[in-house]
């Protein structure tokens, strides 16, 4: 399983994540978020070999395109209510493999409705991110993972929502073939919004290794191909 730490704002947190074995780093470009970071400031941060992910909540394709270049992004995480036309246009610009589509099971009327949403978006994304709550993120709320085993994910999926070391046992209890490809950590690894704590990141990695969950590398991305 690969690990992503999101809501980063400080160089020391990126350094710690890289040293501990995290594979992806996330920058939040939603101005209302307490973890907001302007794209030009994200572009100045050294992520070493970490895969750089930008989190977006609006439909403005040209602004997303500009931010992707300014922040030197590898992947785009669409965390808002982007319309299908936005998703399709971004997939055409950057390639579907560079898009992470966020879904909220608690917002869907039924597993069947959510399955239809997954199937419809699958041609235009490389991963799904499954979050708790009904919108936004970084609130620390945890998701019950067991109902997710009834779904068929047409793309690899990432679990988010209040994850910390003490939540990993439930992930390890899932049948191996139904586990997520990755885990996304944010608020439970912080002392304040945007301020990660190295000892909490280390506790996640130590517990994951003891359970045989990772952290593992992310599938390779040809960064030279980013438009």
The tens digit of pLDDT for each residue in 117-159 reads 999 999 999 999 999 876 655 555 788 888 899 999 999 999 9
Average pLDDT, integer, range 170-188: 96
Would you say 29 and 50 are in contact if contact means Cβ atoms under 8 Å apart? no
What is the C-alpha to C-alpha distance for residues 173 and 38, in angstroms, rounded to an integer?
39
Q: Summarize pLDDT for 72-82 with one digit per residue, the tens.
A: 999 999 987 78
Q: What is the rounded CA–CA span in Å between residue 204 and residue 159?
A: 14
The structural domains of the chain, with segments of one domain joined by +, span 2-217
Separation of alpha carbons 85 and 165, rounded Å: 38
Residue 217 contacts residue 23 (beta carbons within 8 Å): yes
d(CA 212, CA 192): 30
User: 2-217 maps to which CATH number?
Assistant: 3.20.20.70
Q: Taking residues 91-104, what's their average pLDDT?
A: 96
Q: Name the pLDDT band for 31 (thresholds 50, 70, 90).
A: very high
């Amino acid at each position: 399983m690969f690990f992503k730490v999101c809501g980063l704002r400080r160089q020391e947190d990126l350094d710690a994540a890289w040293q501990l074995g995290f594979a992806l780093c996330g920058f939040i470009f939603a101005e209302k978020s307490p973890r907001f970071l302007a794209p030009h400031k994200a572009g100045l941060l050294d992520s070493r070999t970490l895969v750089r992910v930008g989190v977006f909540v609006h439909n403005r394709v040209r602004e997303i395109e500009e931010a992707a270049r300014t922040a030197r992004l590898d992947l785009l995480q669409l965390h808002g209510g982007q319309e299908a036309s936005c998703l399709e246009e971004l997939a055409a610009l950057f390639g579907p493999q560079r898009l992470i589509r966020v879904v909220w099971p608690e917002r869907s009327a039924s597993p069947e409705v959510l399955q239809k949403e997954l199937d419809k978006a699958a041609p235009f994304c490389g991963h799904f991110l499954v979050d708790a709550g009904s919108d936004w993120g970084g609130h620390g709320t945890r998701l019950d993972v067991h109902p997710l085993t009834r779904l068929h994910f047409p793309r690899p999926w990432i679990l988010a929502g209040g994850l910390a070391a003490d939540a990993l046992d439930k992930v390890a209890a899932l049948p191996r073939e139904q586990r997520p490809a990755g885990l996304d950590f944010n608020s439970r690894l912080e002392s304040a919004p945007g301020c990660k704590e190295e000892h909490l990141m280390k506790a996640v990695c130590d517990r994951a290794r003891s359970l045989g969950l990772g952290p593992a590398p992310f599938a390779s991305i040809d960064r030279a191909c980013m438009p």
